[in-house]
Amino acid sequence: MLKVLGLTVLLSFSGAVLATSVADSHTEMAGCESCHQDGAPSSDMAYENETCISCHGSMKELEGDAHKQHDGVITCSDCHVVHEASPASGSCTSCHQP
């Protein structure tokens, strides 16, 4: 019981975004098909990025400067590496000089 409790506390401190990847959280909600057509990745991820927008809205509708500054410039998966448990905020330096 104590062990179970300890794990729960650890997970809630590290935060849901870090504890599990976006792909895992979404697969749990609605399966691989929630983002991949027939569950199989496309070659250019255009289909996948359309699914993000259909559920969350476009970048100009989303909260936060990171979204509004990139509306029409880049796509969701340029920052959200959804199969990795890493925060999107870590992606900035891959395009901008630190």
How far is Cα 93 from Cα 47, in angstroms, rounded to an integer? 26
* 59: number of Cβ within 10 Å: 20
Smallest separation, CB 4 to ligand HEC (Å)? 23
* 64: number of Cβ within 10 Å: 10
Q: Which is nearer to ligand HEC, 1 or 38 (by Cβ)?
A: 38
Enumerate binding residues for ligand HEC (CB under 6 A): 16-17, 22-23, 25-27, 29-30, 32, 34-36, 41, 45, 48, 51-53, 55-56, 58-59, 62, 64, 66-67, 69-70, 73-74, 76-83, 87-89, 91-92, 94-96
Q: How far is CA 49 from CA 15, 45, 57, 98, in A?
A: 24, 6, 11, 26
Q: Which is nearer to ligand HEC, 5 or 66 (by Cβ)?
A: 66
